[in-house]
Structure 1
Amino acid sequence: MKRVGRSVPILTLLLIGGVVLLYYVQLPLLEGFEARTYDLRMRARQGMKKPAGTIAIIAIDDKSIAELGRFPWSREHFTALIETASAAGARGLVFDVLFPEPQSSAIDRALAAAIKASGRTTLAEAFTLAPDGGTTTPLQPLPGLRAAARNLAHINVFPDDDGVLRWTRLVLPHSDGLHPSLALAASMAVLGSDSFTAQPYGLSVGEHTVPTDGEHYLLINYRGPAGTFARFSFVDVLKGRVPPESLRGKVLLVGPTAIGIYDMRIAPVSSNMPGVEVNANIADNILAGDFMHHGGLEALGDLVAIILLGLLVALVASLLRAAAAFPLVVVITGVWLWLNLLLFDAGHWVSIVYPCLVIVLVYSAVSYLRFILLDRKSRQVRAMFSSYVSPKIVDQLVKNPELAKVGGESRIVTILFADVKNYTGYSEKRTPREVVTTLNEYLAEMTHSIIDHDGTLDKFMGDGILAYWGAPLPQDNHAELAVSCALDMLARLRQLHLKWQEEGTEPIACGIGLHTGEVIAGNLGAAGKKMEYTVIGDAVNLTFRIQNESRTANCPVMTEALYERVRQLVIADPLGPVLVKGKQLPIEIYALKGLRSAPSGNQQPDRRLSVPAPAATLPTRSSP
């Protein structure tokens, strides 16, 4: 885990730095995803921002074409419309229609007169953009119409690479100055202003300030899908079907909404939005002062979100298990999306894609790193313990490797030491092969007994066996398991005696000592060379010493410390105090004769603990 702890900060910082770099590089793929999330957020809040009501649309729609004939119409209809709207008290008329060619001198003069008489009409012009970003000579209305109009405004649109209209350019530079857009002109008409002031990152119309980027692009804050703004059919206004009070005080944008006229735009909130309604949205933004911001403050917010979310997810992924980390990361992502929507509703376009990208990358990378290193740790734990503890305990250690503290910790354990009686005399009378064969059979059965009782086989010491319970995993019933195992070892040894007698092999006998006490348990040795999980301490030495007493008692012996833990479970006789080497005071020991009942706990089935009393009698042998 230390390696995980060292690697996670480096990996996290690298990934955060990589996402920040991508943020500034602005890859088209990621920027496209971000733009799509803008559209989704815009649609999610449709209807929340209502138009101010000062902008209305005079629609050149299918109904008007059906009654007035194929478009373009005679300019006499536009003359009549201007007169009708002016008489109704409209605050302004803004045409999203070009009048670049003459129709007839009389009709054109009549239209110019109506425009001049209204004193509130803005006409459209269109620029061709040069390759260097500049503008060429615009397509403008006839000179007479141009002279009569209050303002001229460009109708150029600037969709993004995917064709969606998210931005508008409020002014276009030309040799004779800055030309306003149709929407800017409409807002100027509402505000009663004939001019605007351009600033490096904004425009001023009267007391209204419009934030833009350096090229005077404005992010459009759409009010809703097509049809959100009040709309009147051209022919209905022309023929007096619209009450004058519906037009009074409004700036009227006149433009096509019929699909056949091909002035439909793809907007974030609609795949078919008339260009005239796009301009209505922009004008309403300016009048309400309700803008979508995507500038320096939002960029700072993006960077802060990338860094903080990356660090937070790294912390969660490195400290918690996957079962807890993954749901928490999902919650963190959900909270961030909720905050993002709140910011969006407040008019701030803060990135979703890049913070979510750093969440995914950091979580995936840290989780993978943990998996690789913990998988290696699990293999090490399995290799370390599988040969001398039960598979059940190995599985627990693999799942919780921190339970086996490397380096040593104090534990209360029960220790068992078994040693073959008169091993030296036994081996002198037989060939090494015979001794090894018999000893291996004995050691194998004793090992199975220890493992079956969830003990830890520490080591073979020649013909001796050291085992313990309570480490590396804590075991509340370590004392019960140890005494049960000692009796089971004798039962297995009896079965070996029967086998050896049938084979004509002289049997061996063993003595067993048991003690409960405090030890230091952990991995000891030379790191990277040879390490061994073991227990050390005075309790281990004492177990070695009292095992000698089992030779004369002819049964397993245990200390008083162990007896006090299992006295309700075992049948035992006191053997009195014994003075052992290394101790100044005598040690009370007990002879283990059998079990009264199965030990508590669910780690051992009863069948393993059901040892009859006669099992306590050890096989005898002649003295050497």
Structure 2
Amino acid sequence: MLCTLFTSLLSIFYLVDAFESAHDAISDQLQIHISSPPDEKPVVYLLITDASLIEADEVDGISWPWPRSAYAEAVRFLNNAGAKEIIFDMIFSERSVHGYEDDVGFASAVEEAGVILANLSSSHRSAMSEQRALENLRITDRFALPVEGTDATMFKDYPYIRAPVAELTERVKAVGDVKFVQDRDGIGRRIPMLIRSGNRYHPSLSLSASASALGITAYRIEENELVLTGPGIERSIPLDAEGMARSHYYGDSGIYDKYLLLRVIKSQISIDEGSPPYYDPALFKDKIVIIGADATELKDFRPNPFNKSNDPGAHYHGTAIHNILAGDFLQSRYEAIYVLPVLFLTSLLLALVTARFRATTGFAFTFLLLALNAVTAIYMFKHHGLLIDVTATSINLIGCFILATGFNYVTEARQRHFVTSAFGQYLSPDVVKALVDDPNRLLLGGDVRTMTAFFSDIAGFSTISERLSPQALVALLNEYLSEMCDIIGKYHGTVDKFEGDAIMAFWGAPIYRHDHARLALLAALEMQERLRVLRTKWAAEGRDQLFVRMGINSGPMLVGNMGSRTRMNYTVMGDAVNLASRLEAANKFYGTNLMISKKTRALAGDGFVTRELDAIQVVGKKKPVFVYELLGKEGEVGKSLQHGAQLFEQALICYRKGELFAAKEQFAQVYDHIPEDPATAEFLRRIEAADKNMVQGGWDGVFKPDSKM
């Protein structure tokens, strides 16, 4: 839920272009670090530099602005050199200060060489007179492109055009718009291919030059692409929602050859005078030459991702020309339709992972998604020229991870507190720690598994409690229960509850152990041993001595948190639990303290000494239960006791066969090894009271108590 809310809020920010600057910065870094200079460089820059202005003024006696006849010399040189296209990134919108003939001479050179000049569209008429504005529209109308499938809403309207003077515009091969579009940070990353002026579409300078170089004859808009076609050629330029193309920069202007316009002018003059030129004409053969300014005074700097301060404007158009020729514009996939589904999908995946696994796994998964996002962005840029979102998706991943982990931390803290509170009082510290570390081991709501249940009760407790004051009784019970519970915890048992002096415990939950029966027997033996020590202590203190009966049974039980919605108890239920309780009560018939079932004896394995006591017909059950007395651990039980137990079991066999005389003799021999054995006395009493008619009938030797134990 928190991840969804965070992603929804992030999506709102995305929809209001809050990540535009970050997208631009990342696209810049991709171009700077991933792009490499192209092998073929179709563009050449001829620049007017600060040094050229000084040289022209101080050496040649020509001050700025230069006469257009000088540009004509440069055009003649480039045309003779075999330049593919000659482009001026300069707007000759005012008449030459050197007179009408200067414009006419330049116009002749422009017409002869097929030069492309620049114009500039605008939303405002500014200093232009209305008459001049109309005249500019008239003289540039022949350069408007017949574009099919255009959508006027895609292109902003620029009704005013600053065009070269009529003498030039009427004789030039083409004109192109030099509008510079800058992003919020002033960087020129996008360039308009078409400029709408009313219902006319004029080409940009880069489109005019490229179309001329490629021989393009038709233009159409298909979805978000400007498709250029000509004899045997087609180019597609991806456009964004505003009709802009995103330039793919390979470097700053230094990646292309740059020469001084002044030296080209002087080269033609030198050739005319029969002297060698400054530049070899071969440098410009089959090149698209862009003539522009790089002088501080002329202020034609256009920032780009590689140079954010002083790169010449010619590079803005030169890069676009190169992109058109190579079909290598960048395409952004920053639109919400591409990004928002990714945000919500990754949010869902991260929420699922953090909910199911530990924080370290969630961190690794988050890091993997972040790395995958970055690698995908680099791959798509390098191999497909696609720009995909990295910022919003990364923020979403990090934010969702922090929120999900924080939520899980709070939830786990509550769960730890619950586990500690619920089990800390009656589980061993290592079991509580294991549950806190992995609460999944605690299956709330109930789970059926084979476990071992334990019940204990103090013999004659009612009589003892009547003799003691409440304070003395509580002190005695607290000492007894504390000692017993410590031993249960030592052997990884779970104390279920206290019922007065009675203890109910179990082994095998909440953390399952395959040796649950063995642990229960070890705990019971140690509890009896501890009671012997305590009785000595209590006797010395003049206090009552406690003798405790214990019953242990193993079998399938339902374990879990059970109760009402407001009060629950982690406990066990089932027939196997009830039988353990009845075995505890059955001890009083045999004078024993530790009775276990046949199932527990089998599951506990070797290492214990027992004697079979009887087969008891539990009320409500058809099959008898075979029960045993736990005498101790192997190696710790005396030989006399073991021999007496063997004699007892042999007598029990005779007893069950109905051979009561033989059984009586063998039971009597048990006293030689276990003096005053209460269990033997019980069987001798039964034999004496046996009805001979019943013995001759269906005798099976099964003990059927008169009441529920």
Instruction: State the TM-score, normalized to the length of structure 1.
Output: 0.84
Q: 1:112 aligns with which of 90, 100, 107?
A: 107
Q: Is the 8 A contact 1:51 1:223 kept in 2?
A: no
Letter matched to residue 526 of structure 1: S
Shift of 1:422: 0.9
- Contact 2:68 2:96 (C-alpha < 8 Å) held by counterparts: no
Structure 1 runs not aligned, ≥5 long = 1-7, 599-615
Distance 2:175 2:218 in 1: 11
Quick check: 1:559 aligned with 2:607?
Answer: no
Q: CA deviation at 1:261?
A: 4.5
- In structure 2, the partner of 1:81 is 74
Moved more, 513-522 or 250-259: 250-259
Which of 178, 192, 211 lines up with 1:188 in the alignment?
211
Partner Cα separation in structure 1 for residue 341 and residue 174 of structure 2? 44
Could you tell me how far apart the structure 2 residues matched to 1:176 and 1:479 are? Answer: 93
- Structure with larger RCO (C-alpha < 8 A, sep 6+): 1
Match of 2:34 in 1: 45
Equivalence map 1:419-458=2 (5 Å): 419-458=457-496
In structure 2, what is the equivalent of residue 518 of structure 1?
A: 556
Q: What is the deviation of 1:433?
A: 3.1
Change (3 A) 1:499 1:159: same
Aligned to 1:304: 341
Equivalent residue in structure 2 for 1:228, among 255, 263, 285: 255
Residue 602 of structure 1: aligned partner:
none
3-state SS in 1 of match to 2:388: coil
CA distance in structure 2 between the partners assigned to 1:472 and 1:437 by the alignment: 30
Of 165, 177, 180, the residue aligned with 1:157 is: 180
Worse overlay, 319-328 or 191-200: 191-200
- Cα distance, 1:335 vs structure 2: 2.0
1:541-561 deviation line (CA, Å, top 9, x unaligned): 222222245454544232222
Q: 1:478 to 1:197 in 2, by over 3 A?
A: closer
Partner of 1:103: 97
Aligned position for 2:704: none
- Check conservation: 2:263, 2:279, Cα contact below 8 A: yes
Cα distance change on mapping 1:196 and 1:589 into 2, 3 Å: closer
Residue of structure 1 equivalent to 2:546: 508
Deviations 1:422-478 (A, max 9, x none): 112222333333323222221121122212222100111221111111111101222
Q: Which residue does 1:332 correspond to in 2?
A: 369
Is the contact between residue 51 and residue 284 of structure 1 (CA under 8 Å) also seen in structure 2?
no
Corresponding position of 2:323:
285
Secondary structure, counterpart of 1:381 in structure 2: helix
The sequence identity of aligned pairs, in percent, is: 27
Q: How many residues align?
A: 586
Whole-angstrom CA distance in 2 between matches of 1:567 and 1:203: 85
1:264 match: secondary structure? coil
Structure 2 equivalent of residue 210 of structure 1: 237
RMSD: 3.3
| 8 Å contact from structure 1 (residues 210, 286) kept in 2 | yes
Separation (CA, whole Å) in 2 of partners of 1:367 and 1:200: 44
Residues 1:181 and 1:438: Cα distance change in structure 2 (over 3 Å): same
Residue correspondence of structure 1 range 113-128 to structure 2 within 5 A: 113-118=108-113, 120-128=114-122
Q: CA deviation at 1:73?
A: 4.1
List per-residue Cα deviations over 1:184-218 (Å, max 9, x = no partner): 22213313469967889554554345343464322
- CA contact under 8 A between 1:151 and 1:194: conserved in structure 2? no
Q: TM-score, normalised by structure 2?
A: 0.75
Q: Structure 1 residue 407: deviation in Å?
A: 2.1
Give me the whole-angstrom Cα distance separating, in 2, the residues matched to 1:381 and 1:59.
78
CA contact (8 A) 1:41 1:341 kept: yes
2:331 counterpart SS class: coil
Residue 178 of structure 1: CA displacement? 4.0
Q: How does 1:232-251 map to 2 (within 5 A)?
A: 232-238=259-265, 239=267, 240-251=277-288
Pair 470,216 (structure 1): closer, same or farther in 2 beyond 3 Å: closer
SS at 2:253 equivalent: coil
Match of 1:604 in 2: none
Q: Are the structure 2 counterparts of residues 73 and 200 from structure 1 closer, same or farther at C-alpha, using a change threshold of 3 Å?
A: farther
User: Does the CA contact (< 8 Å) of 1:200 and 1:214 recur in 2?
Assistant: no
CA contact (8 A) 2:333 2:389 kept: no
Matched-pair contact (CA < 8 Å) for 1:213–1:295: no
In 2, Cα distance between equivalents of 1:448 and 1:514: 18
- Local SS of the residue matching 2:311: strand
Structure 1, 373-382 or 452-461: larger mean CA deviation = 373-382
Q: Please point out which of 153, 178, 189 is paired with 1:166.
A: 189
1:413 and 1:470 in contact (8 A); partners too: yes
- The reply to whether residue 376 of structure 1 matches residue 414 of structure 2 is yes
Pairwise mapping of residues 403-414 of structure 1 onto structure 2 (< 5 A)? Answer: 403-414=441-452
CA distance in 1, matches of 2:304, 2:125: 26
CA-CA distance at 1:55 after TM superposition: 2.4
Give the superposition deviation at 1:82: 1.0
Does structure 2 retain, via aligned residues, the 8 Å contact 1:219–1:293?
yes
**Does 1:535 find its partner at 2:572?**
yes
Q: Which amino acid aligns with 2:181?
A: F
Deviations 1:296-324 (A, max 9, x none): 9x653324323433333333233333222
* Corresponding residue number in structure 1 for 2:86: 93
Return the offset for 1:349.
Answer: 2.8
Cα-to-partner distance string for 1:86-115 (whole Å, 9 max, x where unaligned): 111112211113433523225444333322
1:467-486 matches, cutoff 5 A: 467-486=505-524
Output one character per residue of 1:481-502: Cα deviation in whole Å (capped at 9) or x when no partner: 2122112212332333233233
Answer whether contact 1:309 1:359 (CA < 8 A) is retained: yes
- CA 593–181 in structure 1, closer or farther in 2 if over 3 Å, else same: same
Match in the other structure for 2:246:
219
Q: Deviations over 1:317-358 (max 9, x none)?
A: 333332222212221232233233333331333322333343
Tell me the alpha carbon deviations over residues 154-187 of structure 1, each in whole angstroms, 9 at most, x when there is no partner.
3221101111111112333447944432212221
Q: Distance in 1 between matches of 2:422 and 2:33?
A: 57
| Partner SS for 2:176 | strand
Provide the rounded CA distance (Å) in 2 between the counterparts of 1:202 and 1:401: 57
Question: In structure 2, do the counterparts of structure 1 residues 317 and 147 end up closer, same or farther at CA, with 3 Å as the change threshold?
Answer: same
Paired with 1:442 and 1:311, the residues of 2 have a C-alpha distance of 54
Partner SS state of residue 190, structure 1: helix
Distance 1:153 1:222 in 2: 21
